[in-house]
Each structure stands twice: as structure tokens, then as C-alpha cells.
Structure 1
Amino acid sequence: MDSATAAIVLDFPLFLRLYSDGRVERFSGTDVVPTSTNPVTGVRSKDIVIDTNTDLSARLFVPKITNPNQKLPLVIYFHGGGFCIETAVSPQYHNYADSLAAEANAVVLSVNYRRAPEHPLPIAYNDSWAAIQWVASHSTNGGPEVWLKDYVDFNRIFFAGDSAGANIAHNMGIRVGSEGLNRVRIVGIVLFHPYFGGKEPIGGEIGNVKGKSFSDKLWMFAYPSSSGSDDPMMNPAMDPGLSGLGCEKVLVCVAERDFLRDRGWYYKEELGKSGWGGVVEIMEAVGEDHVFHLLNPTCDNAVAMLKRVVAFINEDKA
């Protein structure tokens, strides 16, 4: 079929459009920022290939090193975009990882997992787990990446992500709890505006039929073999293994005007009463919408949230 005459099969405004010939048109997250040394922060970045068979890659950020003998925490970051758009090298994700590395004095590994619909879930989950295992392989001075071997304290690893990336971060924590991860310690997980759902609407979802429909539809688009919005990967409250989350603490960040706000609060409550032995905290940004900190990183609420995340990463520092 001529691509010029292909019919639109599915249309997600501001996200992407799928055509009958299989072509995917993405409306966001297509720009690429090159690696560099930031002259202001001193943060260095480079792209690395984790698996040549799947083209799994990541962008690695290292802060300005003032003490070469000091080992730093590592944040493994999973970008958002509904599992469909954006990449680790998109401007907003490159810039945020740079800022996080500088402010937290931490190494940041931003994972470039494969995206739906060309690579439907659970591929992004499996890619993310492969990246985590690849990181862990460096803990005994193995593995090929010198920045990880030289700078990372493998007893101070964190997962973080926004929106769909927060969903991935949580599910990676569940996988650590169920499968284990040798030779490394996952201290905490930071969830920015997590993309969770459920069959029954809660809170603000009840009066927002359009928003709820979009959320449910996007999930099934990204994960067509899923059981639906109550799949434990989407609705952690339905996961009998929630109490086994494989970290010691969680910080949930929500925004007052975000459609997903109530899901973040619900997650916090369900995790807290699940029997999990860790500490879960929540921070709400008043007057803000979804991923505002990526779109306006210098606003007061974004600065305050970054400071809270930095404290979360460094509060257990020896």
C-alpha cells in the first residue's frame, strides 16, 4: 500500500498515529541531544550499547569528579512517554538526567528501552531488566563500562522514572523482590507522576470519562496481550507480590492537576498497608500538571521537587 494513501488505524493526539501499512508517526520525542560535557554543571555524558542483539542502549551521565576515590550512588532512570514516545536522548530527558547527576552528585544511567507499538510490552520491561542486570555485572569489577566500575557504589542504587517510566521503575522493583539481584543493593525508587490505572475509576477519574478512556486505551495499545487495566503491571493494588517490592524506601511525586494524581496517592496507600517493610513517602506539587518538572525545570515547584529527590538519594549516605 502506498504510504501516502494508508488509512489511520489509531490516533493518539499529541502522542502518535498508527497507519494501516504499519507506519508509526510520532508527534513528540523525536529530537536528539548529542552527548557532551556540560560547561555549567561539569556533567559528562556518553551513549553506550548494552545488547547488540536487541539494540538496547542507554545514556550515561557522570557528575564532575572532585574526589576520584569517592564512589557515587547510581540512579537507573526510565523515561516516560506512554511506552510509545520519547527516548533517553530527547532534550527534556537528557537535561533532567544532567541536572539530577549534578545536584545529587550521582551517576545516572538513562535506559533507551524499545517502544510500542513496534515493540509491544512486555518488551520494555524485559529491556529494562536486562539493563539492570548489565549494571549489576559491573559490581565485581566485571562488565565493560569503565565509568560504572570507576565511580559507582553498588550498594547505593536507585530506580527512578516518570509516567510510564515510573510504571517501569515500580515493576523493576517488584522483579528485584521476586527474582533477586546479586551483589547490588537497591536502596530506593522515585516515581514521578506514575502511570498506573485500574478497571474501576477512582478520585478525579470518576468525573473524567475521556481521560480514563485515554489511559485505558493507551495501556492496551502498548500491551495488547495484557489482561486489561487491572493487570498487576498497571494496577499494583492487584499484585499479590506488592509486599515483596525489592527496595527499602519509595518516594512518590504527584501533581495537583495531573489526571494520574489519585493513582499516585492510591499506590502510596496500598504499598503502605501491603506488609512491605520499607518506608513510602509522597510529595505533591500544588497547581502543577503532568511532568511539569520536565517542561518547566526552573519553576519553583520543579526546583523544590529536585531538592527533595536529591535528599532522598543522599539521606542514607555514610
Structure 2
Amino acid sequence: MGSLPSPQLVEDFLGVLKLYSDGSIYRSTDLVHPKIPLHDDASAVVWTDCLFHPDHNLHLRLYRPTSPPPAGQKLPILFYIHAGGFCFGSRTYPKSHNCCLRLSSALQAVVVSPDHRLAPEHRLPAALDDVYDSLKWLQVQAAQAAAGDDDDDDETTLSRGSGGGSEWLREMGDLDRVFVMGDSSGGNLAHHLAVRLGPGSAELAPVRVRGYVLLSPFFGGTVKTTSEEQRPCESFWNLDMYDRLWRLSLPAGATKDHPLANPFQSTTEIKRAALDPMLVVAGGGEILRDRAEEYASRLREYGKTVVYVEFQAQQHGFFTADCFSPEANTLIQTIQHFISLYSAPPIY
């Protein structure tokens, strides 16, 4: 009786993620999880981990400033969806953790950073479903707060610092003033959340999303943009790497014109959709620059409230690469202004 043939390599992303013909997967984080220092200053920000999806064993990480807000006031809540091309990333990655610490301290906000299932084990829309469920977890906390229920038996909390996640949200977080921020693939997910939830996020009541921040959103399409043709490589990223991530993360057999990759594949749906305000940020030197600019321009043409900000010569992931750079400081000021501008209830 002959031996079974060895599985064939179907897709290889830089040797750190390999997909084989029998569906098996090899994954390493050696390249995408570099040993960078953590800027973890417990005197400024404390954090805690909470289980939000027991079925998938998914956690989220909450951050809060150590300084309490002024009497009678609460802090805005910023949902931060990490990058990673849908195939990598976690709330525990040093870059993501540093960014959330920085955002919480600089914006004086409660930051919520959820994990999601990764492709190709769990192809899209699994990640979108998971980040939606993390927002529904927030709704549960709001309902418990309204009922005066202090029982945390429904959550697993692994704390670093004082207090649990629910307590922080109830005492310090303004559940009526939530902003969703997504970085790269997280920016893609933020877009789809905005479309799914609609203006005012009524299905999350009493939680209310006021706006969305899309940082270098990871969009795609079969027709190349000018920036993709003229700038196919950055210092780290290149167009082939993006293509491989799409093949690994999209539903099997789908092209980059799938609606989960190309937001304008269904133009009629986008035109009709009512959306909360958006801040779209791109680096002037990144491959995906044109897709971000076109996204913002077309949404404005359709009557949506969109602010587009471009950082000259910056490449993809400039904020996560160094969240203390001069450009990162300017970006934080831009986000602060956006939060202040759209914290008041809009009139629809």
C-alpha cells in the first residue's frame, strides 16, 4: 500500500505563513512580530484583558488613563481595530499595544482593542463578524450599567492594574460617544462596520458610534491605481505581498473586486447608505494612497461627511511603526479635533 502524497504548498507569505493543499497551515510571527520595546508606563495608562467571545476564545484589551476625568464628565471610547492584512495581528502585538497606550494617554480616552479570528483558517467575513461582536459586548456592558448590575460573572478579566473592564467602562467611559478606528485591514473593517451599523448605530443602543477613523485602509481591486503602478514597492510592503494577503483572506475563489476588498464593487449600495462621519488618513508615499484618496472623494460625491488627510511622503503603517514620531503627534491632534467636532449628536 503506497504512502499518501505530501501536501503541496499553495500559498507562501514570506515564509511566515504557508497554506498547503490539504488545508493545513504553518504560521510563525518571527517577521511580523518584531522584538520592539513596549512603552508601557503604568503611571499614565493601565490596561486589562477581557473575554468577549467565549465560543472563539477571543479577548479584547481595554486601556484607560490613570488620571480621572473632571467631575461629572466621562471619557470618549475609541475602538481600535488592529492591522495585519486579516492574517496577522493581535491586541498583544507590541506595535498595537504601544499605539493603544499612546492613544489612551494623548486623547484621554478609554481604548478598546479587540482581537478577531485570522485568515486563512477563518476567511472573511469572520474578522468582520468578530469585531461586530466586540461592539455588541460593549452594548452588554452598557445595559448592565443602566440596570445598575455590578456582576462581572459573565466575563473573564485578566487585569494589569486596578479594576476590571466593565467597571472602567461604567465609571469612566462615555457609551454615547464611541469612535471606531481601524488601521490598514482594520480600516477596511471599520468601513464595513460603518455600512452595517448605519448612522447612529441604532442596533447598539444605548451605545452610540459617532464617527470612524480609517488609517491607511486596506482596500483592493483588480484594476490597478496609478500609485500601485508607479509605486509597487515601499521600504517593506510591495504589491505582491498585498495580493498574497488578499488570496489568503478573501472567500475561496474570490477576486480583489469582492465587496469585502473593493468597497465600490456595489456602488448603488454605497450611494444609498447613510454613514456617520469619517476621517480617512493616508501616507503620501504608500502604495495604497490612491485607493484611500478615491474612497474619500467618492464618498464625498455621494453626500457623505468625510475628512481626508494625507501625510506627505509617509508610508503604510507610519503611525504603528512609530507612534511617537512628529507625524504621529500631528495625527493624534487630527483625531482629537475629529472627536471634538463630532461628539455632539448629529441631526439626521
Q: Do the two structures share a fold, i.e. TM-score over 0.5?
A: yes
2:226 aligned with 1:203: yes
Alpha carbons of 1:31 and 1:212: their partners in 2 closer, same or farther (altered >3 Å)?
closer
- 1:34-87 CA-to-partner distances (Å, cap 9, x unmatched) read x997235x2110110002111121011111232364211111111011001121
Mean CA deviation greater in 110-119 or 147-156: 147-156
Task: For 1:95-106, list aligned pairs within 5 A.
Answer: 95-106=98-109
Per-residue deviation, 1:30: 4.4
2:110 aligned with 1:83: no
Q: Indicate the residue corresponding to 1:310 in structure 2.
A: 336
What SS does structure 1 have at the residue aligned with 2:86? coil
What SS does structure 2 have at the residue aligned with 1:189? strand
Indicate if the aligned counterparts of 2:178 and 2:211 stay in contact, CA closer than 8 A.
yes
1:24 counterpart (23, 26, 45)? 26
What SS does structure 2 have at the residue aligned with 1:167? helix
Larger radius of gyration: 2
Q: CA–CA distance in 2 between the matches of 1:159 and 1:241?
A: 21
Per-residue deviation, 1:208: 5.5
Q: Indicate the residue corresponding to 1:224 in structure 2.
A: 251
Indicate if the aligned counterparts of 1:75 and 1:106 stay in contact, CA closer than 8 A.
yes
2:172 counterpart (142, 151, 156)? 151
Task: For 1:158-177, list aligned pairs within 5 A.
Answer: 158-177=179-198
* Matched-pair identity in %: 29
What SS does structure 1 have at the residue aligned with 2:264? helix
Q: CA–CA distance in 2 between the matches of 1:226 and 1:152?
A: 42
- 1:127-159 CA-to-partner distances (Å, cap 9, x unmatched) read 111111111222232684222222221221111
1:117 counterpart (120, 128, 134)? 120
What SS does structure 2 have at the residue aligned with 1:159? strand
Q: CA–CA distance in 2 between the matches of 1:104 and 1:215?
A: 31
What SS does structure 2 have at the residue aligned with 1:272? helix
Indicate if the aligned counterparts of 2:142 and 2:207 stay in contact, CA closer than 8 A.
yes
1:296 counterpart (305, 309, 322)? 322
1:253 counterpart (271, 278, 281)? 281
Mean CA deviation greater in 197-206 or 252-261: 197-206
- 1:189-228 CA-to-partner distances (Å, cap 9, x unmatched) read 1011100011211221234668445433421311233642
Question: Counterpart of 2:229 in structure 1: which amino acid?
Answer: I
Question: Counterpart of 2:308 in structure 1: which amino acid?
Answer: I
- 1:150-200 CA-to-partner distances (Å, cap 9, x unmatched) read 222122111111110100111111110298423222111101110001121
Q: CA–CA distance in 2 between the matches of 1:37 and 1:257?
A: 30
Task: For 1:272-291, list aligned pairs within 5 A.
Answer: 272-276=300-304, 279-291=305-317
- 1:83-102 CA-to-partner distances (Å, cap 9, x unmatched) read 01121111010010011011
2:265 counterpart (233, 238, 244)? 238
Q: Indicate the residue corresponding to 2:157 in structure 1.
A: none
2:192 aligned with 1:190: no
Question: Counterpart of 2:288 in structure 1: which amino acid?
Answer: L
Mean CA deviation greater in 305-314 or 11-20: 11-20
Unaligned segments of structure 1, at least 5 residues: none
2:65 aligned with 1:63: yes
Mean CA deviation greater in 259-268 or 136-145: 136-145
RMSD: 2.8
What SS does structure 2 have at the residue aligned with 1:236? coil
Question: Counterpart of 1:295 in structure 2: which amino acid?
Answer: A
Indicate if the aligned counterparts of 2:39 and 2:98 stay in contact, CA closer than 8 A.
no
Q: Indicate the residue corresponding to 1:264 in structure 2.
A: 292
Indicate if the aligned counterparts of 1:50 and 1:56 stay in contact, CA closer than 8 A.
yes
Indicate if the aligned counterparts of 2:10 and 2:20 stay in contact, CA closer than 8 A.
yes
Mean CA deviation greater in 177-186 or 90-99: 177-186
Alpha carbons of 1:32 and 1:69: their partners in 2 closer, same or farther (altered >3 Å)?
farther
What SS does structure 2 have at the residue aligned with 1:224? coil
Alpha carbons of 1:301 and 1:37: their partners in 2 closer, same or farther (altered >3 Å)?
closer
Question: Counterpart of 1:309 in structure 2: which amino acid?
Answer: I
Indicate if the aligned counterparts of 2:175 and 2:208 stay in contact, CA closer than 8 A.
yes
Q: Indicate the residue corresponding to 1:13 in structure 2.
A: 14
